[in-house]
Amino acid sequence: MFSRREMLAASAMGAAMTVSAANAGSFGNPDEPPQGSINAKNPGSVTDPGPQNPAIRDQFPSAFSPPATDVGSMPLTWASFNNAPRRIQDGGWAREVTQADFAISTEISGVNMRLSSGGIRELHWHQAAEWAYMTYGHCRVTVIDPTGRPYVADVKEGDIWYFPAGYPHSLQGLAPDGCEFVICFDNGAQSEFNTLLVTDWFAHTPPSVLAANFGVPAETFAKIPLNDRWIFQGKVPGDLAAVRSAMTGDAETPPQPFTFSLAASPNLNVTKSGTLQLADSSTFKVSTTIATVIQTVRPGAMRAMHWHPNADEWQYYIKGKARMGVFNTGPQVVTMDFNPGDIGYVPRNYGHYVQNVGDTDMQFIAVFRTPNFQEMNLSDWLKHSPAEMVAEHLNVDPAIVPQWPGANAFILPG
């Protein structure tokens, strides 16, 4: 793929191939006055002699010294679980990033949770749908649908689950070392610390009502917890087949599974530069409000310039080092760096790209509040527009336009 700077350079057909350092300072940078450290002539313009935290600063080189092409003011596109407070209890912990913490994240909120072996996230339900991706270990999930069809399954690293809003469920870590996962809710305001818990309802219901509801003496509930359990240590559950048999009895099986192996799903795109794997309602039928793509980008490669017309993009970075540039009207352009445990967010129709700036594979998941994944690829659009018209827009040779990457150019070499 041709970069913006390469396209501009191609227009200078009669110019010398060597560009002086002075000219390079403003090349590809249309803003007046010129921005970026490359355009600063006085050394004092870029130094930072005041108080600072180098450990934090050095994680964000694109913020400390943005590309000269960055312009305007855009809400922060970066957040992280790494600096989110953990709520720790015997049995596990969780931390979250909601819109209250991350203003731009209006459609999705995120939770990072760990359960010990036998640790239980108590029986509960939400006012938003729950989607989750397993990053470590093994977990048992249970859920029941509105027609009384129960479901239980064990999931492992690379698997996902989806529970529609209002479907009651539980989560439990399995041997040998429990599990860790990332949850996304299809509402940016949804909090993991504000859910509908079975212990809360029991504790705040008169014993006589509980007795009438369950058909047992009121004394049955004399020792119920007076406070919610949320996460607590339980016994490691037994064999899945035996538990499933005991749970389901003669009940029907849900028509679609609530779990899915994203890691084992067919590749949407495979090149030497990376891979994309998709799970939306076309493959994971039960997931009617969430689509996701797991993306692996090789060292030096980049996720092509594109945008999504039907949903915001919430990102979770799993491994490697990334740099993302985001473009909006104005113009507004911001570049930010991402590391494992970080979260990115791109509103719908905002153009963006993601580069692997490390020396190992970079991997992240992109989550969308929509049943179906959609993407508009910048290069493919221009390739399939009249070449002469594109050339008139960009001052490039029309002969190169049909050579630009096409529809399958999701991940490109650096």
User: Is the CB of residue 319 less than 8 Å from the CB of residue 338?
Assistant: no
393 is in an annotated binding site: no
- Annotation says 124 is catalytic: yes
Is 384 catalytic? The answer is no
The residue to which tokens 């010990």 are assigned = 116
Residue 204 annotated as binding? no
- Token pair of 106 as six digits: 């209006």
Active-site residue flag, 126: yes
For residue 45, the SS3 value is helix
DSSP 8-class letter at 82:
T
Which one, of 1, 74, 18, 44, lies nearest residue 377 by Cα?
1
Tell me the C-alpha distance between 77 and 396, whole Å.
Answer: 32
Is 308 annotated as ligand-binding?
yes
Could you confirm whether 393 is annotated as catalytic?
A: no
Question: Was 169 annotated as part of a binding site?
Answer: yes
Residue type, 264: A
Would you say 138 is a known binding-site residue? no
Q: Is there a binding annotation on residue 384?
A: no
121 among known catalytic residues: yes
C-alpha to C-alpha distance for 236 and 175, rounded to whole angstroms: 7
Which of 96, 107, 122, 130 is an active site residue? 130
Given the residues 107, 122, 180, 192, select the one marked as catalytic.
192
Confirm whether 192 is a catalytic residue. Answer: yes
Cα separation, 56 vs 196, whole angstroms: 37
Q: Looking at this protein, which amino acid is placed at residue 274?
A: G
CB-CB neighbours of 146 under 10 Å: 8
CA angle (256 as vertex; 254, 261 as ends), nearest 5: 130
Furthest CA-CA distance within the chain = 93
Cβ atoms of 52 and 76 closer than 8 Å: no
Active-site residue, from 140, 169, 303, 323:
169
> Cα separation of 403 and 385, whole Å?
12
Residue type, 237: P
Catalytically annotated residue among 126, 138, 229, 323: 126
Rounded CA-CA distance 274/81 in Å is 25
Separation CA 2–CA 8 (nearest Å) = 10
Given 96, 107, 122, 124, the catalytic residue: 124
Which contacts (CB < 8 Å, 24+ apart) does range 24-33 have? 25/68, 26/68, 28/4, 28/68, 28/69, 29/68, 29/69, 31/68, 31/71
- Annotated binding residues: 124, 126, 130, 169, 306, 308, 313, 352
- Known catalytic residues are 121, 124, 126, 130, 169, 192
Which residues define the annotated binding site for Mn(2+)? 124, 126, 130, 169, 306, 308, 313, 352
